[in-house]
Structure 1
Amino acid sequence: MTRSKILITGASAGLGAAMARDFAEKGRDLALCARRLDALESLRDELHAAHPNIKVAVHALDVDDHAAIPSVFAQLREELDGLDRVIVNAGIGKGARIGTGRADANIATATTNFVSALAQTEAALEIFRAKGAGHLVLVSSMSAVRGLPGTKAAYSASKAGLAALGEALTVEFAQSPIAVTTLLPGFIATDMAAKAGDARMVAPLDKGVAAMVRAIERERIRACVPGWPWRLIDLVLPHLPRAVVARMS
């Protein structure tokens, strides 16, 4: 099934902007939102220049402003004359060691990555329920596979919550025309990944995003991307001794 009208949050940079470029190349109409309107407008102009036949609508949105999400989604739906895929991509990775006086960073991470993702999911599914069809994509993380210690604790917990939400919705909509995909990206070359992982395990941005888009287009229920080495890590990580996991802090 071709989903021709796609909304992406957190689209001003990183994975969101890269996915927008990939979908634009495929001829899809795009609704892009993020906090930085100037970056979105620059991306819109770039996409229009390269692909003059597609529509690109942009709107400023801070996903932590939960009350604003439904109205922004509705406005973007109106500008594109419909939405048939929403990619909940906006996220942050500010984490600090819990109990070290940086509760603000951990609460912000949990709020954006889970509570705000839930708010986006509410708005997307309200649109899809009214339409009777659609594809919801939740961008979680390989960090969701196992609770990770140290500075990664709040981040992995927030992404595990999002992955659990995806699983719950997959079950709920299994017999319906609404599809749900949960993506678990490994380290892909963005500013966030550069701070988080071993450089030897970081996939180039184009390769990582191509794997994400393939999984989205196939409407996979759950996908670790890129496949290597993350599918293997998905199998092994839950069973590693805690002493080994402790070294990941």
Structure 2
Amino acid sequence: MELINKTALVTGASGGIGEELARQLAERGAHLVLVARRADALERLRREILAAHPGREVTVIPADLAEADAGREVVDALRAAGRPVDLLVNNAGIGSHGAFAEQDPAAVARLIQLNITSLVDLTGRLLPGMLERGCGGVVNVASTAAFQPVPSMAVYAASKAFVLSFTEALWGETRGTGVRVLTLCPGATETAFFTNTGKEFLTRGRQTPAEVARTALNALDGHAPTAVSGLANRLSSAGYRFLPRAAMIRFSQDAVRATHAA
């Protein structure tokens, strides 16, 4: 996908995969709109990118996409700034770890709002303009957790399964329109995800955010609906389809079993 002088909006850009995607998009010539809760982190990244790439335009929109109606506020800010979006990267997300019956309902609602509702809302608000222009792209970040149920991460895995199904369906709907739609499925990655859950698990084989971002941008140049980052992750994601459902659930449960509190 051609990115020179195009505008890419990246949610969850204040750290981890989103921050690295922003850097690599800037390297490939894109202007940026950075969205996340932490305005200070976004401003730091904005200054860093402009220092490395003086010709880029970088707009910061602080927003908490775990709040209802945040997507509308982001799009209103885009319109006020006169910034049409050529590439939407829905990266913002949050995880949890623990038995569902012990989860705080308010925290579960925020997870669903962020991982599903705001992602769908932003896609629905920005995709029509891309289709009208006959060009653009949407990258929705799911997870390797999307390929199977995951006890102790039940709502998180289900939310990512939604993202995978939703985005692959959009890929089918937009074929031949000039709009590139992609699901990115990282495995365990060295980000604040694990710190935020308060648990330590999947400690081996984690990728770096830079590796995941490269997978996403390379996949944008292809045609497949889904990109799984990392060979081991691709093999395990494909292998799950051959397991009986009960065995799949037990295997995924063992894989994410917490070793100790962080």
CA contact (8 A) 1:187 1:197 kept: no
| Partner residue in 2 for 1:245 | 252
Unaligned runs of 5+ in 2: 258-262
CA contact (8 A) 1:185 1:212 kept: no
CA contact (8 A) 1:133 1:178 kept: yes
Unaligned runs of 5+ in 1: none
* Counterpart Cα distance in 2 of 1:181 and 1:135: 8
| Partner residue in 2 for 1:164 | 165
* Counterpart Cα distance in 2 of 1:161 and 1:204: 25
- Cα 1:58–1:124 change in 2 (3 A) is same
| Partner residue in 1 for 2:260 | none
| Partner residue in 1 for 2:94 | 92
- Cα 1:109–1:95 change in 2 (3 A) is farther
- Deviation of 1:110 (Å): 2.0
Partner of 1:99, secondary structure, is: helix
- Cα 1:80–1:57 change in 2 (3 A) is farther
| Partner residue in 2 for 1:230 | 233
Deviates more, 1:205-214 or 1:189-198: 189-198
- Cα 1:5–1:220 change in 2 (3 A) is farther
- Cα 1:65–1:130 change in 2 (3 A) is farther
Partner of 1:87, secondary structure, is: strand
The answer on 1:177 being equivalent to 2:175 is no
Deviates more, 1:121-130 or 1:135-144: 121-130
Counterpart mapping for 1:79-228 below 5 A: 79=81, 81-150=83-152, 152-193=153-194, 195=199, 197-218=201-222, 220-226=224-230, 228=231
Identity %: 31
- Deviation of 1:229 (Å): 0.7
Partner of 1:38, secondary structure, is: helix
* Counterpart Cα distance in 2 of 1:7 and 1:244: 36
Partner of 1:247, secondary structure, is: helix
* Counterpart Cα distance in 1 of 2:224 and 2:81: 28
Output the TM-score relative to the length of structure 2: 0.85
CA-based RMSD of the aligned residues comes to 2.1
- Deviation of 1:74 (Å): 4.8
- Cα 1:247–1:145 change in 2 (3 A) is same
